[in-house]
Amino acid sequence: MIYKSYVIDVAEREPARWIARISRFDGKIIQAGHGWQNAFYDTIATTTATEAMKYARAAIDGGLIR
């Protein structure tokens, strides 16, 4: 899904371990935290896809991702 110029993909890494991968729609590098840069950002693993999506949106809305 696209959310505020970011692409969020949710995937089940192993049984009951869901993550959301955030990348920029325009393909530019993401900056997060203390100078960290990468093409994508993975949320912490959660037990449901809905919860992983919630963490991704919170990271974007809270300014963790820029």
Where are the chain's structural domains? 2-61
Distance between CA 66 and CA 48 in Å, rounded? 25
Work out the angle at residue 7's Cα, subtended by the Cα atoms of residues 53 and 65, and round it to the nearest 5 degrees.
Answer: 75
Instruction: Say what the pTM is.
Output: 0.90
At residue 50, the pLDDT reads: 97
At residue 40, the pLDDT reads: 94
**Tens-place pLDDT, residues 11-59:** 999 999 999 999 999 999 998 877 889 999 999 999 999 999 999 999 9
At residue 34, the pLDDT reads: 78
At residue 52, the pLDDT reads: 98
DSSP assigned state of 7: E
DSSP assigned state of 40: -
